[in-house]
Chains A and B, each alone.
Chain A
Amino acid sequence: MTRLRRTIRENAVPFALISPAVLIILMVVLLPLIFSFYTSFSNYRLIRPDSLWDWVGLRNYKRIMGDWDFWVAFGRTVLFLTVALNLELLFGLGLALLVNKITWGQRTMRTIMMFPMMFSPILVGFQFKYLFNDTIGLVNNGLQSLGLTHEAIPFLVDRWLAFFSIAFAEIWMSTSIFAILILAGLFALPKDPIEAARVDGCSNWQVFKHITLPFLMPFIYIAMAIRSLDVARAFDIVDVMTGGGPAGRTELLWTLISRTAYDDARMGRANAMSYVAILLSIFFTWFFFNKLMEARKHLGAF
């Protein structure tokens, strides 16, 4: 007890200085978290404030466990994440390698490359909704004018085409995040090991596979970690383009949760869904940070 008192006394100034920050974090992060966690055990409905005190125990969680629609949306979110992240990585890597080769106008190119990131996701959603529309959409009209098809292709209706369409919009907007981060990695790449490899007679592919790529991996995993959090909470683009439909064919976790929370006003159940959904983000963050550590250890061999 005296030790504690002494610690406080000796550190009074630092404690006083950090206390506003701690208080603010407690207020804006911890309290809402505790509150929302509590409501996930209640029958809280926004339009019935009294229902906040209607404790229902694990009912919301039990219902979610047996809710097929929720788990399909969960699985689809994982699939969406996997497809979007991998393709963004491939395209981003390709773009970065190409831009790295440019000797003239590279800065302009880098700026142009970042254009898609500058648009609001809602606008990107509207843009692709129009492009993929089955009757007045640019893509359909283009295909029909070129004589490639005589039918209207229902891009936003067909099960796989709709999934492809929302993934396309997401990838279009965010590939440049990968490209920029990988490009930063390429700029920082030491020249010595590459020159040594060339002297030893390595082919371009061997240099890329054994030197460039391992060196880029930490950058890639950082991009993956950031984007996995982004995509796991994908909402705007999907909500605008398909609203999770038709027939739930493009339903992702957050389109489902937002509808439950605000349109249905069932905040208790929506919060329970959110806590289950957050596990997904936690898993991906943990996974990519582990990979990042491994990649950095591997780099230590250089």
Chain B
Amino acid sequence: MRNINKIGALSLATLMAASSVSASDYGSFDGYTLRVKLIGGAQYEPLYTLIPEWEKATGATVDILSRKSHFELDREMKQDIAAGNTDYCVFSNHTNFAPQYDVMTEPLDGHISADVLADFSPLVVSHATVGGKLFSMPRHSDVSNMYYVKSLYEDADNQAKFKAEYGYDLTPPATWAQASDQAKFFTDAPDRYGTHFAGKDEGITGRFYEMLVAEGGVMLNDDMSPAFNSEAGVRALNWFVDLYEAKAVPAGTTNYVWDDLGLGFAAGAVAFNLDWGGWAAYFNSDDSKISGDVGIVLAPAGSSGKRTGWSGSHSFSMTKGCDNQAAAASLITFLTSHDAQMLEARAGILPTRTQVWDDVIAEFKAEKNDYMVEIFAIYSDSMANHAFTPPLIAEWGEISNALWPRLQAAILGDKTAQEALDEAAEDVLEVMQDAGHL
């Protein structure tokens, strides 16, 4: 849920507006070298340009040991845990994967003051809390909403034809059943498809999971045994199967991940696209064929009435072995401060502080950037009211890996939805048994 590569250039323009930091804010750690491992990539780098300010204010030096993509960093961290090589202090984390690193994570309760924490969105803080302990400080959030090509929906001919065929007005989808109708209606292959979806890795697991929740299902029972092979699970999976069978999505969608989807939508290849907030600015940029023609609505609801809202937040954590926890807490506080979040939010990345939502919307309003005002209004509602994480357990990655090849098998027609989910449930049962949950 993370890769957005096109925002770097936009962020650079905002760097000049960086904040000033006073020594009294962040303490003094003269001569100390703080060792950190940070997530890298165009979306994440602009924030790190603020680090010299923290160094200047505190007298400490930051030594960045690693700067890798989420998946590479994840592997490195697992190897660090295995090798007992966790003698650095701060590392980039993600709320949905944080339980995996519990062995090396120092909970932040007591290190971050309650006043600071009170400025963060309560829902997001709850996502960063595992077993009652604050595992990380949320840096920015991810959730998906529905982007659509406005002109296709406004076209009078399309509206008349759609009404005649489906019996209701053509408006951006409020439910996933409507989304399914509209995807089929708009498909004009191979030039345009109704929509597309992430079809492999955690992408398809996450999309299935949020659909499962929107259909009223759950991933795991209270005793941690798998529960996704339920009627709701079959309904959720069949939404994807049905669109694939109807050829309303590209045949290659089972190989697509985030870049394929974002770039495909910007190329005008689909009518609507459920996607992350970080893409919003790119969709409306000069590089996009649909610039000026992009609309946004909240992610549709499933048959239970609940909206999809698979979410998670990139965050920062402290290691247990850190030899200067005050300095680590100081850097984490600095990197999640109001000014730091404003820097990322201006580029379209979703903040975790409530005040930053208001302030960045005010800035967009002042610039008369109606598009970004609308985007942030929708995403703010989504993050405050509809977002939810996967089960916060260390085995989420393993569950995902057991699920996604089976989900693909059902989508491609190799297995029925029930067969695919039952097989995955068997594997997940084994995973949970091996992990000692059952």
Contacts and interface: CB of A to CB of B under 8 A. Distances in A.
Interface of A: 43, 45-49, 63, 69, 133-136, 144, 150-152, 154, 156-157, 242-249, 251, 259, 262-267
Given A247-B405, A263-B397, A154 B251 contact: yes
A10 B432 CA distance: 61
Contact of B190 (A43, A144, A249, A251): A144
Interface string B312-352: 00000000000000000000000000000000000000000
Given A245-B254, A245-B255, A263-B397, 15 more contacts: A45-B434, A47-B100, A47-B101, A47-B394, A49-B82, A49-B84, A152-B190, A157-B254, A244-B405, A245-B200, A247-B406, A247-B414, A248-B405, A251-B405, A262-B75
A135 B264 contact: yes
Among A136, A151, A251, the one with the most B-chain Cβ atoms within 10 Å of its Cβ is: A136
B81 A152 contact: no
Nearest to A151: B190
B285 interface: no
A266 B397 CA distance: 11
Interface string B366-404: 000000000000000000000000000010011001001
8 contacts: A46-B81, A47-B82, A134-B252, A136-B264, A242-B255, A246-B411, A248-B409, A265-B398
Interface in B233-270: 250-252, 254-255, 264, 267, 269
A262 B75 CA distance: 6
B313 to A, nearest CB: 20
Nearest to A265: B78
A247 B251 contact: no
B254 A43 contact: no
A157 B81 contact: no
B354 to A, nearest CB: 33
A156 B255 contact: yes
Contact of B252 (A63, A156, A249, A265): A156
Interface of B: 74-75, 78-79, 81-82, 84, 100-101, 103, 189-190, 199-201, 250-252, 254-255, 264, 267, 269, 394, 397-398, 401, 404-406, 408-409, 411-412, 414, 430-431, 434-435
- Ranked nearest first, the 10 interchain pairs of A and B with the lowest CB-CB distance are A154-B251, A134-B252, A246-B254, A247-B409, A247-B408, A46-B78, A152-B190, A246-B408, A46-B82, A264-B398
Contact of B251 (A63, A69, A152, A244): A152
Contacts of B408: 245-248
A79 to B, nearest CB: 18
B26 to A, nearest CB: 32
Contacts of B252: 133-135, 152, 154, 156-157
A157 B394 contact: no
B412 A246 contact: yes
A47 B81 contact: yes
A147 B233 CA distance: 42
Contacts of A243: 200-201, 255
Contacts of A262: 75, 78
B71 to A, nearest CB: 8
Contact of B79 (A45, A46, A69): A46
Nearest to A132: B252
Contacts of A265: 78, 100, 397-398
Given A245-B408, A246-B199, A134 B250 contact: yes
A135 B78 contact: no
Given A157-B254, A259-B401, A267 B412 contact: no
A243 B431 CA distance: 22
Contacts of A248: 405, 408-409
A263 B74 CA distance: 8
A43 B251 contact: no
B407 to A, nearest CB: 8
A69 B252 CA distance: 23
A47 B78 contact: yes
B105 to A, nearest CB: 11
Contacts of A154: 251-252
B78 A134 contact: no
B189 A151 contact: yes
A144 B267 CA distance: 18
Contacts of B201: 243
B251 A134 contact: yes
Nearest to A56: B434
A247 B254 contact: yes
Nearest to A63: B430
Contacts of A45: 434-435
A43 B264 contact: no
Contacts of B81: 46-47, 49
A154 B254 CA distance: 10
A135 B255 contact: no
Contact of A246 (B74, B84, B200, B267): B200
Contacts of B401: 259, 263-264
A285 B214 CA distance: 54
A25 B82 CA distance: 23
Nearest to A67: B427
Contacts of A69: 405
Contacts of A249: 412
Nearest to A152: B190
Given A133-B252, A156-B252, A266 B398 contact: yes
Contacts of B251: 134, 152, 154, 157
B198 to A, nearest CB: 12
A43, A133, A151, A246: residue with the most chain B Cβ atoms closer than 10 Å: A246
A79 B169 CA distance: 53
Nearest to B394: A47
A134 B199 CA distance: 14
Nearest to A259: B401
B435 to A, nearest CB: 8
Nearest to B397: A263
B418 to A, nearest CB: 16
Nearest to B415: A247
B103 A48 contact: yes
Contacts of A134: 250-252
Contacts of B264: 135-136
A233 B190 CA distance: 37
Nearest to A260: B401
A248 B269 CA distance: 27
Contacts of B412: 157, 246-247, 249
